[in-house]
A and B are shown apart, each in its own frame.
Chain A
Amino acid sequence: MAEVLVLVEHADGELRKTSAELLTAARALGEPSAVVVGEPGVTERALVALGEAGASKVYAAEVDGADAVLSSAALDALTKLVAEKSPSAVLLAHTADGKDIAGRLAVRLEAGLLTDVVELSAEGARQAVFAGSVFVDAKVRTPLAVYTLRPGVVEPEPQQSSPSREDITIAAPNGARVVERVVEPRGARPELTEASVVVSGGRGVGSADNFALVEELADVLGGAVGASRAATDGGMYSHQFQVGQTGKTVSPQLYIACGISGAIQHRSGMQTARTIVVINKDADAPLFEIADFGIVGDLFTVLPQAIAALKARQN
């Protein structure tokens, strides 16, 4: 079976959720080998989780300064591994780093690149374009394919394996330097693009203070908080939580839209959610068209009632 290289994403050896998604998706193409790039010692910390996620092999590319320079170490490691192992594909996450590395690798190896893929199969890749309104099935014509996978679209299916570890040597990183890394507070909530539940607020929420209600529902569901562009542009919520064409694309199991009318730009960021709930006073809000459960009503009465019911259940 063909080998598929998967660039895993991790924070100091702790796998991000996208890594298990990538290893699961890669099985449709062949035998997934995990590529771990980072500071010395990092692979050891990731090995158990990689075995649980189903990596057949683990390539360790450890070098001083790997985290301090953008893309360089990963690009070097993948370039080297492609030359040595002749995989059929390289799979990365469609994230800030994944996009950069994929693009550079494709150019370096003149390999066809398909990004923001929502489904992978032996035949090729499916992409959801135009705000998710059109599915495109595409394939790569070059011997090596490079894909980036949209986070959240694949449900990880753990598959216990005992991967062998192979260390590869890469050059000292070189390029744009990461001077500082700042994690912005989001409380105890999960990261928006990784959350299985997202509760979003729009213009109808009305004010920054009122967003507390959206946050409360998110918290009781263990979810993340999102916002429409109208809400972020209106100063009600921070831009970093914007869901939509110019913000984040999310694919949670459950998306609850509160007071969001559903401009196509917003739909573009949430249309691949498994289940969509829409709460809006305006019965004609376009987002109702894609709702699995729509409530025409005032979010200021519906949300508190739902929160109370959920809390009562939890007790």
Chain B
Amino acid sequence: MNIVVLVKQVPDSGAERQLTADGTIDRENATRVINEMDEYAIEEGLRLADTTGGEVTLVTMGPDEATESIRKALSMGAHKALHVLDPALHGSCALATSRVLAQALQTINPDIIICGAESTDGRVGALPAMLAERLNITALTGARKLTVEDGSATIERQLDDGYQVVQGSLPAIVSVWDTINEPRYPSFRGIMQAKSKPVTTLSLADLNVDPSTVGSAGASTEVVQHAPRPPRQAGVKIVDEGDAGDKLVEFLLAEKLV
């Protein structure tokens, strides 16, 4: 089975993150990590490869530094990687990103594409569906469980009040939440092997994408301005002297919250 896992390098959500003057995410000065949800996608891809005898190809789009995340994902056990790398991609909107990734995915012709349900930086959350639309394949989004057999995939699709069992034929794109599995840590052997695993780099020219349709200039959306959220007004902080529960209720009453 030809398995693709989409990987995105993001600024660590536990560290300081900022936007640059042009409204794009500052990736250069950030602590860079694999998007957390993608680790679950990698794990799910590796498990599927184990049971079906398939291969896992990582696909990423991002600047030079994204190779750090590619190597980490390869060290977990993925077989090879494809890196879409082109300076013109900087500032691309979700529409353009999905267009470029779809072009890249068509060079691989996967049976199944697994990805995180959202990234911790952009948090658009719609890319899996956008890719399904571009590639005209089944969209199985927000999975907390995945089963693949006889040319079809079945997921438990996590909802706010429960879940749906959803089934569709392959090829399909499956996006996963962190409830789906427990990602493995790279082994020492995995880390050593990752260094020699093949990573192919494709530019926009390689993918026949017109650079003027991507990046900040070709974006369908633009950031007009951005600013740190105004700090919340300093609140009241009390130390419990045996009456804090009552004080809390007084506060709620004063604020008309009860």
Contacts and interface: CB of A to CB of B under 8 A. Distances in A.
A108 B221 contact: no
B42 to A, nearest CB: 15
Given A182-B165, A309-B249, A245 B13 contact: yes
A101 B142 CA distance: 13
B240 A301 contact: yes
B252 A254 contact: yes
B227 A135 contact: yes
Contacts of B36: 245-246
Given A100-B126, A240-B158, A302-B245, A135 B237 contact: no
A265 interface: yes
A130 to B, nearest CB: 5
A191 interface: yes
Contacts of A305: 243-246
A183 B165 CA distance: 11
B160 interface: yes
Contacts of A203: none
B133 interface: yes
Interface in B218-249: 219-229, 232-233, 235-240, 242-249
A179 interface: yes
B246 A306 contact: yes
A96 B166 CA distance: 13
Interface string A91-133: 0001110011111101110111111100000011000111111
A192 interface: yes
Given A183-B161, A294-B235, A103 B245 contact: no
A176 B138 contact: yes
Interface string A263-280: 111001001000111010
Nearest to A130: B17
Q: For this complex, into which size category does the number of interface residues on chain B fall? A: 35 or more
B164 A178 contact: yes
A70 interface: yes
B218 to A, nearest CB: 10
B221 A140 contact: yes
B191 to A, nearest CB: 26
Contact of B124 (A115, A290, A297): A115
A268 to B, nearest CB: 7
Interface stretch (B50-58, B91-99, B107-115, B192-200): B91-99
B129 interface: yes
B41 to A, nearest CB: 13
Given A176-B139, A246-B177, A306 B160 contact: no
A193 interface: yes
A283 B244 contact: no
B140 A176 contact: yes
Contacts of A40: none
Interface in B126-181: 126-130, 132-134, 138-142, 154, 157-168, 172, 177-179
B222 A176 contact: no
A135 B158 CA distance: 28
A268 B159 contact: no
A57 B139 CA distance: 31
- Most chain-A CB neighbours within 10 Å: which of B98, B133, B222, B244? B244
B133 A110 contact: no
Interface string A294-312: 1111100111111111100
A294 B252 CA distance: 12
B129 A71 contact: yes
B205 interface: no
A265 B161 contact: no
Given A141-B219, A178-B166, A182-B163, A134 B19 contact: yes
19 contacts: A96-B157, A96-B159, A99-B129, A110-B220, A111-B95, A112-B219, A115-B94, A132-B229, A134-B228, A135-B226, A137-B226, A139-B221, A139-B222, A176-B138, A181-B164, A191-B160, A194-B160, A263-B14, A309-B249
Q: 5 shortest A-B CB distances, which residue pairs? A: A305-B245, A297-B240, A103-B126, A176-B168, A112-B220
Given A115-B125, A137-B224, A139-B224, 7 more contacts: A107-B130, A183-B161, A245-B120, A246-B37, A293-B236, A302-B240, A313-B249
